Structure 1
Amino acid sequence: MMNSMESEQTSVLLSKYLEKKYTGTEEAINIKRKAIILTESLINSDFNDHIDTGSYGEGCYQKGSDMDKMNVDKTVAVMYPDQCIPQHLVHKTILYIRKADCRPGYVNLEIDQLFFKHSFDKYFSNSLVQIGNSLFISSDMYREEWVSFYTTIPGIKCESNGPSSAFTGMEDKDIVHCFQCNSWPKEANEWITRTRLYGWPHQTLIDKTVSNGFHVVPVGDKCSEDTFLQWRISFAVAERSLVHSFSNIQVKVYTLLKYFLKQIKETLKESIGDDDILCSYFLKTILFHAIENSSHTFWQEKNLFDCFWFCFNILIACVRAGFCPHYFIPANNLFQRKVHGQNQQILLGILDNYCQMKWMCLSVGNFIKPSIWEDLCDTSVQANLVSATNLQQNILDHDKGDSCCFVIEISTQTRAGQQGIALVIDIKDKF
């Protein structure tokens, strides 16, 4: 068992290791993100926007991750029925949001006006369904129209996966064909005004996120009986903006969480028969909640493992409760479909076992070999990391001079740690 000083020293070593092998430097991450956004602006057209989402779009791509992309049809606009159609949308197809008979976070889309002028409009028109006197667009039909189109291309293997057309072969890529709504979803209004004790996300980021609206993607609520007309509200662009606001240490915690998930996938498959009972989206959601409910002074390099452990314990608390609140729509339980009954108990047992291991949990799994823990215990790896750290520190000391904030950081970190523990207890008590 490490004492606090050893844990801090190992956390710093872990931080340098992740930077060298996974994340790159903070500057490199920022350059990748700017390059992605610039590339999008160059390839977007009057008819379509192309948005990189998931790990790649967030600048946190790892081995084994898919390339996730959204293809937004700009000839279609999604609105609420109580909104007036602005002049710039009169020559577009208008879809009205209607309540769906399922969990919050899903909607039906009713046709208000049709305006076809693009060769791909046939995939839209082939997906229309008459319900009484109204015309709706089916998410299932629209998604499968695109999958059918891609499979006609020689050499392309494509199948439906959630809302996406999933490609396999030389490059694993998921493309989601979707529509945009320029207003904020009413189901997520609480996110705008909720009390935030620690100032994240800051008001400017909240305002920007809300102004960007949301997307609807072609997949229904798998907990409901009839998904035929249901479309999921997607916050992918909002989530990308939030991840882009992460500090360097928060990016590394995100990387550790996704690394750990990849390493335990095989165990989940063998024990539960479903390695998707936990997914990276759940972990990202937990990280959002963790950052919002803790002081920024907690997220320091010397606390890297404690920050990871904070998130890990929130995950365990959520699994124990069978409830993981969606970050933007807390009434939507992300665990409702799979984390219940016997599977919930098996998953809880697996996570509790890892919890007993603490630092050694970074040694489990075979997806990536050697494991992070094995590398950190390698004296040659340690020497390389320490020498690189010493060189970097000498340069920083020369450039910045002596710092006088060290004592302040220690005192505030202690309070942040207490706040972190309180949050986990609060989650357990609440559920």
Structure 2
Amino acid sequence: MYQVPNYTETVSMKLSEVLADIGVDERIVMKRRRTLLLMESIENIYHQLLDENFFIYLFGSQSEGTTTIGIQSDIDQLIRDKEYPVIQDWSDWISGLYNFLMIQDNSVSPGHCLLQSLRSDAPLPADGESDQFFFKDRTGRVFVKNSIVHVSSVNRDEVELHGPAYARQGQPGYCDKDTVMALHCTTWPQQARQWLIQQGEGQWPSAEMKQYCSRTGCFVVTVGCSGSEHEQLEWRISTSLAERCLMFNLNITQIRCYVLMKILKRFINPLFNDVITSFMCKTVLFHCIANTHSNIWRENNLLLCLSLCLYLLYTNIIYENCPHFIIPGNNLMRGKISPAVKPYILEKLNIIINSEGLALLGIKCDDLGSRLLLKLSAIKKGDIISGKLLYNLAFSISGTLNKTYHHLKKRSPNEAVEILKNFISKTFNSQYEGLDKTASHLMLPWYCTILGSFMATLNIYHYNTVSADALKLIALGLNTDVASSKLKLASILFCVQEIQKVDLVLSEIEKRYDLQIVEPICKCHVEIKKELQRQGFLELCDNHNEEILKYTTASCVRFLPCEIHCVPTELRYEMFRSTQEDRIFRTKEDNMWMDCAVVDSLPYLYFLQYKVYSHLGRRDQKQAALFKLIRTIKEELNLGHRETALNLLGKCMEQEGRAGDALQCYFKSLNVRGRDNAAKIHINAL
């Protein structure tokens, strides 16, 4: 039996430890997957509540858990349009929808297909003529051009076209994201049916995995084979759901091998225009696993496993053929490698393969080289990764709430109440399972708080009081996070002069708001760069999943114009921040929140305390609250609405009789945000 040399085993174990230190271990991989799949579920549940006909998938390294902080992987978002089913058999035709028949014959490039348009009222070919989106061939068949699908869910002015994907890149506070529109076929592609029955030495994937993969069907995305005579008509077949299944069934050594290949790819690619892709590396890994015995893939063999993968990649480049793992006729390297750069790529790979691991010492990504050399195992990144993952999940929830508010913004209070009741009823009664169930439990309390607030504003407008039903709904959402929902309750109680109750609510919030742990959450601005700065937050996130968000995050507090009766007078001005000229310069993101009153939780807590202590005549506590408000504005780096906090501070200064200080606050506010700022109203009123 082959024995691994002691040197190789030693380097493999040290390399495995280094990868664990930078977050490539079972726990962090599972946490990454859970977080991204929860984000996927939250997004889809929201669109289901609106009865929208598309479904979103988050693919790629982030959802697979095969990335590191240094790799900085983007998110691959696939948007599936449910209105246009793709079928491979006439018996699968669906009445009332525009079905497309998948054509896979010898005239089509491997890994691609044509889509023939069918009638919606009968399982028959559609009639029509050639135009911008359709092509009629000599036999009368009408085919759909791949230009028919466009990305409607992103702002086209803010993205860059990358093949079939629209890329959002370089926006502070956001992961880079590639968005692809796709159509779905519920049946397994004809070109991949041989894969279901073949089996290599590694007996991987198992028969059960292949059976599951076959049930996922496939997608078709809007890109033809480069250079094909049918390039505008061809659609690329994607088996992303099956590939997700394969990735989720890798062991930690296989995942580490893939991560190392991606890091080494970055080491090679800057010299050769990114000719080696992550998908090629993944495909090479799949082929190696399928054709080697399973007992090879162990921690003490990591260096050997990496060498096997790199050697196969080297061979593929020699022959310029990297066959797709599921559709082997599709050569991923076709036309990718120019004769001019091929020798240099091979030379670079050859050096890495023959270096017996020494080449890894030169890798700067995640300090992998220096960590391997010095084995700085004391510097672990697990807590940082966990913190960023759960922060991103909170960020995703905040983004979904932004869209919910935007959907309700132009509705009357009564209409908004009915829409939210429908949201809550559908969410509560849906038979969700797994992470979908977890996602719905995360969102349901938020919807209850919003509905309670809408009912409260109607109560205050008509009766100057708040009904028990409204308070009961708000109470169901009080533990969404540390502060924001409770601050909504405090704001409502303040508007009906229940000052003693407000005092109790604010005291409870302040007890729970640990300044060493709680991170502010705001997705209103893309231009504000947010840095996780609290070690307590990172440590708690490292030891818990999404349930810890209610103790470690504080979202900004938002009131729609229809909630105006739940808002103190000083904050109402924020609903009127924009002039007609300001509106011309708004972005898509600005329109999501700028007609609302929005404020970060911590400054709003201290502002309400100042108002309450003023009413109660507690001068010392009032001054303490004012000092905390000033300190927060100066020291908290992650405020999303600093200009609003400065405006509230200015109103406090006015109440103190300090008009000069109030004016300074308003000018500082304008320095933060020159347009769309209520400070202009306050300055004119002084």
Fold similarity call, TM over 0.5: yes
TM-score of the superposed pair, with normalisation by structure 1:
0.76
The 1:35–1:65 alpha-carbon spacing in structure 2 relative to 1, beyond 3 Å, is closer
The 1:216–1:384 alpha-carbon spacing in structure 2 relative to 1, beyond 3 Å, is closer
The 1:126–1:66 alpha-carbon spacing in structure 2 relative to 1, beyond 3 Å, is farther
The one-letter amino acid of 1:324's match is: C
Q: Which residue number corresponds to residue 165 of structure 2?
A: 164
Question: How far apart, in 1, do the equivalents of 2:252 and 2:379 lie?
Answer: 21
Q: Does 1:29 align with 2:29?
A: yes
Q: Of the two structures, which has the highest relative contact order with CA contacts closer than 8 Å and spacing of 6 or more?
A: 1
Question: How far apart, in 1, do the equivalents of 2:76 and 2:286 lie?
Answer: 20
Question: How far apart, in 2, do the equivalents of 1:103 and 1:126 lie?
Answer: 22
Higher mean alpha-carbon deviation, 29-38 vs 167-176, is at 29-38
Question: How far apart, in 1, do the equivalents of 2:244 and 2:338 lie?
Answer: 29
Aligned-pair CA distance for 1:126: 6.9
Q: Does 1:83 align with 2:54?
A: no
Question: How far apart, in 2, do the equivalents of 1:255 and 1:69 lie?
Answer: 20
Aligned-pair CA distance for 1:353: 2.6
Q: Does 1:13 align with 2:14?
A: yes
Aligned-pair CA distance for 1:74: 1.0
* Contact 1:223–1:337 (CA under 8 A) maintained in structure 2: no
User: More strand by proportion, 1 or 2?
Assistant: 1
The one-letter amino acid of 1:50's match is: I
Higher mean alpha-carbon deviation, 315-324 vs 27-36, is at 27-36
Q: Does 1:353 align with 2:351?
A: yes
Question: How far apart, in 2, do the equivalents of 1:179 and 1:382 lie?
Answer: 46
The 1:184–1:202 alpha-carbon spacing in structure 2 relative to 1, beyond 3 Å, is same
Q: Which residue number corresponds to residue 210 of structure 1?
A: 214
Q: Look up the SS of the partner of 1:93 in the other structure.
A: coil
Q: Which residue number corresponds to residue 242 of structure 2?
A: 238
Structure 2 regions of 5+ residues with no counterpart? 122-130, 381-686
Q: Look up the SS of the partner of 1:75 in the other structure.
A: coil
The one-letter amino acid of 1:31's match is: K
Structure 1 regions of 5+ residues with no counterpart? 116-124, 269-274, 386-431
* Contact 2:167–2:178 (CA under 8 A) maintained in structure 1: yes
What whole-Å deviation, never above 9, does each CA across 1:134-168 have from its counterpart, x for those lacking one?
A: 332211x235x437x7445xxx5212211111112
Question: How far apart, in 1, do the equivalents of 2:144 and 2:23 lie?
Answer: 42
Q: Does 1:327 align with 2:328?
A: no
| Residue 360 of structure 2, aligned match among 359, 362, 365 | 362
Question: How far apart, in 1, do the equivalents of 2:201 and 2:374 lie?
Answer: 41
Q: Look up the SS of the partner of 2:187 in the other structure.
A: coil
Q: Which residue number corresponds to residue 50 of structure 1?
A: 56
Q: Identical aligned pairs, as a percentage?
A: 26
Q: Look up the SS of the partner of 1:22 in the other structure.
A: coil
The one-letter amino acid of 2:295's match is: T
Q: Which residue number corresponds to residue 268 of structure 2?
A: 264
Q: Which residue number corresponds to residue 4 of structure 1?
A: 5
Q: Which residue number corresponds to residue 112 of structure 1?
A: 118
Question: How far apart, in 2, do the equivalents of 1:40 and 1:237 lie?
Answer: 14
The 1:369–1:195 alpha-carbon spacing in structure 2 relative to 1, beyond 3 Å, is closer
Structure of greater Rg: 2
The 1:55–1:323 alpha-carbon spacing in structure 2 relative to 1, beyond 3 Å, is same
Q: Look up the SS of the partner of 1:142 in the other structure.
A: coil
The one-letter amino acid of 1:198's match is: G
The 1:57–1:103 alpha-carbon spacing in structure 2 relative to 1, beyond 3 Å, is same
What whole-Å deviation, never above 9, does each CA across 1:80-115 have from its counterpart, x for those lacking one?
A: 1x43135xx323220011237342111111111349
Q: Which residue number corresponds to residue 407 of structure 1?
A: none
Q: How does 1:55-134 map to 2 (within 5 A)?
A: 55-62=61-68, 63-80=71-88, 82-85=89-92, 89-99=94-104, 101-114=107-120, 127-131=133-137, 133-134=140-141
What whole-Å deviation, never above 9, does each CA across 1:272-308 have from its counterpart, x for those lacking one?
A: xxx2211111110000000111111111111111111
The one-letter amino acid of 2:56's match is: H
The one-letter amino acid of 2:6's match is: M
Aligned-pair CA distance for 1:66: 1.5
The one-letter amino acid of 1:90's match is: S
Q: Does 1:180 align with 2:181?
A: no
Q: Look up the SS of the partner of 1:361 in the other structure.
A: helix
Q: Which residue number corresponds to residue 398 of structure 1?
A: none
* Contact 1:50–1:71 (CA under 8 A) maintained in structure 2: yes
Q: How does 1:275-314 map to 2 (within 5 A)?
A: 275-314=273-312
* Contact 1:376–1:382 (CA under 8 A) maintained in structure 2: no
* Contact 2:85–2:184 (CA under 8 A) maintained in structure 1: yes
Q: Which residue number corresponds to residue 374 of structure 1?
A: 370
The 1:384–1:219 alpha-carbon spacing in structure 2 relative to 1, beyond 3 Å, is closer
Q: Look up the SS of the partner of 1:96 in the other structure.
A: strand
Q: Which residue number corresponds to residue 535 of structure 2?
A: none
Question: How far apart, in 2, do the equivalents of 1:300 and 1:93 lie?
Answer: 50
* Contact 1:151–1:158 (CA under 8 A) maintained in structure 2: yes
Question: How far apart, in 1, do the equivalents of 2:278 and 2:379 lie?
Answer: 31
Q: Look up the SS of the partner of 2:23 in the other structure.
A: helix
Q: Look up the SS of the partner of 2:341 in the other structure.
A: helix
The 1:95–1:53 alpha-carbon spacing in structure 2 relative to 1, beyond 3 Å, is same
Question: How far apart, in 1, do the equivalents of 2:250 and 2:62 lie?
Answer: 15
Question: How far apart, in 1, do the equivalents of 2:319 and 2:137 lie?
Answer: 39
Q: How does 1:211-226 map to 2 (within 5 A)?
A: 211-226=215-230
The 1:10–1:346 alpha-carbon spacing in structure 2 relative to 1, beyond 3 Å, is closer
Question: How far apart, in 2, do the equivalents of 1:382 and 1:56 lie?
Answer: 24
Question: How far apart, in 1, do the equivalents of 2:268 and 2:346 lie?
Answer: 13
* Contact 1:257–1:283 (CA under 8 A) maintained in structure 2: yes
* Contact 1:128–1:135 (CA under 8 A) maintained in structure 2: yes
Aligned-pair CA distance for 1:205: 0.8
* Contact 2:95–2:120 (CA under 8 A) maintained in structure 1: no
* Contact 1:70–1:178 (CA under 8 A) maintained in structure 2: yes
Q: How does 1:142-161 map to 2 (within 5 A)?
A: 142-143=148-149, 145-146=150-151, 150-151=154-155, 156-161=157-162
TM-score of the superposed pair, with normalisation by structure 2:
0.49
What whole-Å deviation, never above 9, does each CA across 1:369-409 have from its counterpart, x for those lacking one?
A: 63x22221125x15778xxxxxxxxxxxxxxxxxxxxxxxx
Aligned length: 355
* Contact 2:101–2:117 (CA under 8 A) maintained in structure 1: yes
* Contact 2:104–2:190 (CA under 8 A) maintained in structure 1: no
The 1:35–1:354 alpha-carbon spacing in structure 2 relative to 1, beyond 3 Å, is closer
Q: Which residue number corresponds to residue 40 of structure 1?
A: 40
What whole-Å deviation, never above 9, does each CA across 1:315-343 have from its counterpart, x for those lacking one?
A: 11111222211111212222221235343
Q: How does 1:401-420 map to 2 (within 5 A)?
A: none
* Contact 1:107–1:230 (CA under 8 A) maintained in structure 2: yes
The 1:50–1:126 alpha-carbon spacing in structure 2 relative to 1, beyond 3 Å, is farther
* Contact 1:266–1:365 (CA under 8 A) maintained in structure 2: no
The 1:64–1:39 alpha-carbon spacing in structure 2 relative to 1, beyond 3 Å, is closer
